[in-house]
Amino acid sequence: MTTLKLKNISIIAENIKKYRNKMGISQDKLSKLAGTTLQTITKIESGITLDPRIKTVRKIADAFSVNVDDLLNEIL
């Protein structure tokens, strides 16, 4: 099982929220687009999930039509 490093979690959470807001979609809509649960999206965005699986992050990136790196790196 591959997990992401803790230091990237707040950046990931921030970026997911930014992309989601930019698209004008709810957490529920994102969960459906990404093929994951609303609970998963909520926990990642709020920082409760400290180690989202790369598979989950990849699904979210695909839902946004961005690369995983776009979710992992700080948006300037």
CATH code of the domain containing 56:
1.10.260.40
pTM assigned to the model = 0.84
Backbone torsions φ then ψ of 12, nearest 5 degrees: -60, -50
Count of structural domains, the chain:
1
C-alpha 68/C-alpha 54 separation (Å) is 9
* 53 CB-near residues (< 8 Å, 6+ apart): 1, 2, 3
Q: Residue 53 CA to chain centroid, in angstroms?
A: 10
pLDDT of residue 56: 97
The C-alpha atoms of residue 74 and residue 76 are separated, in whole angstroms, by 6
> Tens place of pLDDT for every residue, the chain, 76 residues?
455 544 555 889 999 999 999 999 999 999 999 999 999 999 999 988 877 999 999 999 999 999 999 998 876 5
SS3 42: helix
The answer as to whether 15 is a domain residue is: yes
Provide the pLDDT for residue 29.
98
Structural domain boundaries enclosing 67:
6-72
